[in-house]
């Protein structure tokens, strides 16, 4: 019985550790700008202006 409990604890810890170690799908500022430009939310001039600003940081 103890071996079963230890195995169960090990399994749960390994599954939660794997989920926590994977990075979330995080958009970079460049990705956000590309998406907004493609969707027509910003025009080319604003896209290029903001893209150059992002590159300076």
CB atoms within 10 A of CB 29: 13
Neighbour-count burial of 33, counting CB atoms closer than 10 A to its CB (0-12 exposed, 13-18 middle, 19+ buried): buried
pLDDT of residue 23: 63
Q: Model confidence at 22, in pLDDT bands (50, 70, 90)?
A: low
> What's the predicted TM-score (pTM) here?
0.53
Rounded Cα gap, residues 36 and 28, in angstroms: 12
Q: Tell me the chain's radius of gyration from C-alpha atoms.
A: 22
Residue 21 has pLDDT above 60, yes or no: no
Neighbour-count burial of 24, counting CB atoms closer than 10 A to its CB (0-12 exposed, 13-18 middle, 19+ buried): exposed
pLDDT of residue 19: 54
Share of the chain above pLDDT 90, in %: 44
State mean pLDDT over 35-55.
93
């Amino acid at each position: 019985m103890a071996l079963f409990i230890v195995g169960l604890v090990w399994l749960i810890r390994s599954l939660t550790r794997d989920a926590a170690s994977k990075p979330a799908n995080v958009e970079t500022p460049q990705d956000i700008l590309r998406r907004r430009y493609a969707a027509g939310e910003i025009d080319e001039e604003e896209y290029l202006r903001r893209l150059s600003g992002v590159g300076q940081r």
